[in-house]
């Protein structure tokens, strides 16, 4: 019997394995904090690697059922994958593919499984998401270890591990546009901490800038987070450069030079490929128009089910650090003070990024998970420094245990009840083929181009077909809501059809746009598009209310 299906058939098997690994991880972290003997051994390179292997195993044991959900957990996931499949053949950004508010790096990272000769699938995308989450958590560990100590670092990663392991909301577990930006932001902080420990080594500041400069080209919404991360780094350089004005200028120059690497390379490529104008209209102007003229209340952060309680707990620990800093300022090292201040600046950038679109999409909250954990880690570090307790069984151990218990109490509700993705495992291996995918496969082969009118990018993934226009979804072609550029997007859509001449055309408009069933968004509502389809294509079949057209042989 398939071992994954066997495990999923009994929810108790899944829960026992998940909870046992998470409990073991927490116990090892606490042991390393309360016992100097354990800390010395766990700090060795081999044992550090083993600890991370345990963390990875705990996260995988909790999340593996999501890998086997056949359909996209969110259409953004399918859109990014469809773009990645096409980018293997047509990689110029905003010409071969257009990710709307997500930049080209968010597409390119999903191409990584292809380096191993694998098809780009939802399973692979979710593995990439897990890898990026682990990379971000590893960067948090590095920050805490470099600014404080390894014992604190092991405890600091428990809250994000708990969140990513136990969260079950679709918006929190699918591959999303936030994942790469989160990883790059935490990587920038980790490299910055290395630079600080290396007395401001310019090469590491350059790499900090490179990582931060990539963030807006993963998701434009991360610009405030990237900007405040760079601002925190620049403030640290100005405050701490040991060799005067010349040293500050050189280090700021290194940071700034790194910051320009991604914009220069990506925009130069777009200019050579002829898509610089499309970058400006589609990525900048349309994204600006997408912003609503209202604000989400802060309760969006603090009271959202599955997130608010853990976020509140982390903020409380950061606030504890602020109290300790005020009471014991002179007993805190300059590095500890700088780390705490920087973590608060970065957390402010994350909140700003979440609020920037003025919308309540739950996946935006992912921006705050690692910055909030970073601020809590810094607050915990200040509490330890203020206590000046280093002996086994000391007040440091008591604070550690209290922190872990508070994290468990805040995160436990995330994992209570039955896990909703277990039922998808058997269907992944033994379920029937989707009829729309079967219809497409009968007429359009993998590697051929398919245009889809509507919001069903999953069919690019299930059939491994290439984008027939640069748009995996056509929301900007049918809707004028928050979109003053609908004429531009419509002209571009029909221009791409004439240029690329896709083998198939799927009209999913009435199915994917028409939520009240009145059939208002079929391709016939777009006269220029209807003229091309009626002239060059024939109806090949229908399935689930969706029509497939195939290009006539001329």
Residues 15 and 76 in one domain: yes
* 85: in domain: yes
Q: In which region does residue 321 sit, left (phi positive, over 0), alpha (psi from -120 to 50) or beta (all else)?
A: alpha
pLDDT one-digit tens code per residue, 209-263: 999 999 999 999 999 999 999 999 999 888 776 777 888 888 999 999 999 999 9
The DSSP letter of residue 392 is T
Residue with tokens 């791409």: 496
pLDDT one-digit tens code per residue, 118-173: 999 999 999 999 999 999 999 999 999 999 999 999 999 999 999 999 998 889 99
d(CA 159, CA 152): 13
* 395: in domain: yes
Residues 203 and 172 in one domain: yes
Quote the number of domains for the chain. 2
Residue-by-residue DSSP string for 504-549: EEEE-HHHHT-TTS----SGGGSHHHHHHHHHHEEEEEEETTEEEE
Q: Domain boundary residue among 346, 381, 415?
A: 415
Residues 406 and 439 in one domain: no
Domain of 474 in residue numbering reads as 432-551
Is residue 130 packed enough to be buried (19+ CB in 10 Å), middle (13-18) or exposed (0-12)?
Answer: buried
pLDDT over threshold 60, residue 345: yes
Predicted confidence band of residue 28 (pLDDT cuts 50, 70, 90)? very high
Residues 41 and 188 in one domain: yes
The DSSP letter of residue 446 is T
* 424: in domain: no
Residues 393 and 447 in one domain: no
Residues 300 and 177 in one domain: yes
* 218: in domain: yes
Residues 401 and 531 in one domain: no
* 227: in domain: yes
* 498: in domain: yes
Average pLDDT estimate for 281-286: 95
Residues 488 and 346 in one domain: no
* 423: in domain: no
pLDDT given for residue 503 in this prediction: 97
Residues 405 and 447 in one domain: no
Residues 352 and 454 in one domain: no
Residues 114 and 139 in one domain: yes
Residues 81 and 107 in one domain: yes
pLDDT given for residue 510 in this prediction: 65
Average pLDDT estimate for 383-405: 76
* 422: in domain: no
């Amino acid at each position: 019997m398939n071992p994954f299906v066997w495990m999923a058939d009994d929810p108790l098997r899944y829960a026992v394995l998940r909870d046992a690994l998470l409990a073991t991880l927490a116990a090892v972290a606490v042991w390393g904090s309360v016992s100097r003997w354990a800390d010395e051994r766990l700090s060795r390179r081999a044992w550090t690697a083993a600890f991370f292997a345990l963390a990875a195993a705990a996260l995988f044991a909790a999340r593996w059922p999501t890998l086997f959900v056949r359909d996209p957990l969110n259409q953004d996931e399918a859109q990014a994958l469809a773009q990645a499949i096409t980018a293997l053949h047509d990689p110029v950004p905003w010409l071969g593919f257009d990710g709307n508010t997500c930049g080209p790096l968010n597409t390119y990272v999903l191409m990584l499984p292809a380096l191993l000769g694998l098809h780009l699938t939802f399973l692979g995308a979710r593995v990439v998401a897990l890898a990026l989450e682990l990379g971000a958590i590893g960067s948090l560990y590095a920050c805490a270890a470099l600014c404080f100590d390894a014992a604190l670092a092991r405890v600091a990663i428990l809250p994000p591990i708990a969140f990513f392991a136990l969260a079950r909301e679709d918006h929190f577990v699918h591959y999303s546009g936030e994942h790469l930006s989160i990883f790059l932001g935490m990587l920038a902080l980790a490299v910055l901490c290395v630079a600080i420990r290396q007395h401001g080594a310019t090469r590491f500041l350059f790499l900090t800038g490179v990582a931060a400069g990539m963030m807006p080209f993963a998701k434009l919404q991360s610009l405030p987070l990237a900007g405040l991360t760079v601002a925190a780094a620049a403030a640290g350089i100005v405050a701490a450069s040991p060799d005067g004005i010349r040293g500050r200028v050189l280090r700021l120059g290194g940071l700034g030079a790194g910051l320009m690497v991604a914009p220069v390379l990506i925009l130069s490529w777009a200019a050579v490929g002829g898509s610089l104008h499309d970058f400006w209209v589609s990525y900048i102007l349309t994204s600006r128009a997408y912003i609503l003229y209202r604000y989400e209340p802060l309760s969006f952060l603090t009271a959202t089910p599955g997130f608010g309680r853990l976020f509140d707990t982390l903020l409380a620990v950061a606030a504890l650090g602020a109290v300790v800093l005020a009471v014991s300022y002179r007993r805190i090292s300059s590095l500890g003070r700088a780390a705490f201040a920087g973590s608060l600046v970065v957390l402010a950038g994350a909140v700003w990024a979440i609020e920037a679109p003025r919308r309540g999409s739950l996946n935006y909250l992912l921006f705050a998970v690692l910055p909030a954990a970073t601020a809590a880690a810094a607050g915990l570090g200040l509490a330890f420094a203020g206590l000046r307790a280093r002996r086994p069984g000391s007040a440091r151990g008591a604070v550690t245990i209290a922190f872990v218990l508070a994290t468990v109490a805040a995160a436990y509700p995330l994992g209570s009840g039955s896990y909703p993705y277990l039922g998808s495992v058997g269907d992944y291996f033994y379920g029937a083929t989707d009829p729309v995918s079967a219809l497409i496969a009968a007429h359009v082969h993998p590697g051929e181009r398919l245009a889809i009118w509507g919001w069903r990018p999953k069919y690019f993934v299930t059939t491994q077909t290439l984008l027939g226009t640069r748009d995996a979804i056509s929301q900007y072609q049918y809707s004028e809501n928050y979109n003053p550029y609908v004429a531009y997007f419509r002209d571009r859509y029909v221009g791409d059809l004439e240029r690329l001449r896709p083998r198939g055309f799927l009209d999913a408009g009435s199915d994917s746009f028409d939520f009240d069933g009145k059939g208002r968004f079929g391709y016939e509502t777009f006269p220029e598009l209807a003229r091309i389809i009626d002239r060059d294509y024939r109806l090949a079949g229908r399935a689930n209310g969706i029509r497939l057209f195939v290009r006539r042989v001329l």
